[in-house]
Chains A and B, each alone.
Chain A
Amino acid sequence: MATLTAVRPAFGGFSFDNCKRNAVLEVEASKVGCSVPAARKTGTTICGVVFKDGVVLGADTRATEGMIVADKNCSKIHYISPNIYCCGAGTAADTEMTTQLISSNLELHSLSTGRLPRVATANRMLKQMLFRYQGYIGAALVLGGVDCNGPHLYSIYPHGSTDKLPYVTMGSGSLAAMAVFEDRYKPDMEEDAAKQLVRDAIAAGIFNDLGSGSNIDLCVITKSKVNYIRPHDEANKKGVRVTELEALKL
């Protein structure tokens, strides 16, 4: 009697079937001289600051694919819940899927409890998920929001550790942005001063880091409203093309 198998995926989730094939392909490709396509990363500057009434989150808008700019105006500030937003650095797909998953979970959770979700809940869900995958999900996040206990700001690293701080920066331009924060941060700032500080920090990242560029997006979260300003500032404007006639007149 011929052999037969009864194949059934008992449960969904990640499938590791192609990992060995991919490793072999990478070795073969490097022998020939080509390289496997790289994942799109957001070499980034993201930052956040807590001010008197809430939180200001800021991000640049460049997405890179190796040495090429893949997206000149991508949106790095993701929605988590009406009072919580999250900036994402690292692999672009990972940050998107992670924030969408946590946003759905938080919505189900808040429907179940009947209350506005808290930033600490989102933080706990994110850190447990990222630790489960041991850093293979490359998402470095800045999570900020205002809930019943006031404004909160967290930074979450790809391996699952988190920090709760009054000002945080992440991404490849984080050192440049942190330099601006360390110089000019004061507790209990006004909203305009906080927006200017975040704008300057992101601009420092844009001009001093190759992985960050284009515009500056801001998101101001207070108890009563959320102001998503996109773009707040076009720090790197492309030149305007002139026709030959106009060029002759210049």
Chain B
Amino acid sequence: MCRHQNETLPDTAVYRKERGTNEVTMNSRGLRSQLKDSVPVAGFSPQGAYGVQDSLRSGFTSVKNELLPSHPLELSEKNQFQLNQDKMNFSTLRNIQGLHAPLKLQMEYRAARQIQRLPFLQSSNLALDTLRNSDESIGFEDVLNDPTQSEVMGEPHMMVEYKLGLL
């Protein structure tokens, strides 16, 4: 398994950079970056209007909250599990069919991931689901915390400006 670790490493590094539009991946190392799931504008903290902490939206702040996971499964579910599954599937595919199979699939994944709506709207990711074969299975991510029915949304103007780099 460690023989293939080197080969799949470049793929996941690019994969992480690719997801920069959605999550903080400025430095993929470090627990802190893995725990946060909002996009802060660099240089200001704490979050909220005029630098005051936003208790309504983000709760009471404490450094421990942001540095340590609150549940043993939190890190695994948030970042690692899907990545590890993909790694395993790609290396199996590579063993069975040769290098071209995971290469072609990852190219298609990258293309499908770029089909998105405006930054503040949730995309259905239909092409990505079809490629991953997750349109034929149902899991907790379809039942609990459906992103299309979330109670908060980012402010549309700010998110578009951030995406276009005008901020």
B70 touches A16 (CB 8 A): yes
On chain B, the residues within 8 Å of A2 by CB distance are 49-51
Residue in chain B with minimal CB distance to A3:
B44
B74: contacting residue among A16, A21, A105, CB under 8 A: A16
Residue in chain A with minimal CB distance to B145:
A12
Chain B interface size, under 10 / 10 to 19 / 20 to 34 / 35 or more: 35 or more
Chain A interface size, under 10 / 10 to 19 / 20 to 34 / 35 or more: 20 to 34
Within 8 A of A (CB), among B51-103: 51, 57, 59, 65, 69-74, 77, 81
Main secondary structure of the interface of B (DSSP, over half): loop
Residue in chain B with minimal CB distance to A15:
B145
Residue interface mask A4-47, B partner, CB < 8 A = 1:
11111111111111011101000000000000000000000000
B38 touches A7 (CB 8 A): yes
Within 8 A of B (CB), among A50-74: none
Asked if A108 lies at the interface with its beta carbon under 8 angstroms from chain B, I say: yes
- Knowing A3-B48, A7-B154, A19-B71 are in contact, say whether A12-B146 is a contact too (CB < 8 A): yes
Within 8 A of A (CB), among B104-138: 119-120, 122, 136-138
- Knowing A2-B50, A7-B152, A108-B136 are in contact, say whether A14-B73 is a contact too (CB < 8 A): yes
Asked if B31 lies at the interface with its beta carbon under 8 angstroms from chain A, I say: no
B150 touches A133 (CB 8 A): no
Asked if B41 lies at the interface with its beta carbon under 8 angstroms from chain A, I say: yes
- Knowing A3-B44, A10-B23 are in contact, say whether A20-B154 is a contact too (CB < 8 A): no
A12 touches B51 (CB 8 A): no
Asked if B144 lies at the interface with its beta carbon under 8 angstroms from chain A, I say: yes
A129 to B139, CA, bound (A): 9
Asked if B15 lies at the interface with its beta carbon under 8 angstroms from chain A, I say: no
Residue interface mask A98-133, B partner, CB < 8 A = 1:
000100110011001000000000000000010011
* A-B pairs with beta carbons under 8 Å apart, 13 shown: A6-B119, A6-B155, A6-B162, A8-B150, A12-B140, A12-B142, A13-B140, A15-B144, A15-B145, A16-B74, A20-B65, A101-B138, A101-B143
Apart from A3-B49, A4-B41, A10-B22, 8 more pairs, CB < 8 Å: A11-B147, A12-B140, A14-B77, A19-B71, A101-B140, A105-B137, A105-B138, A108-B137
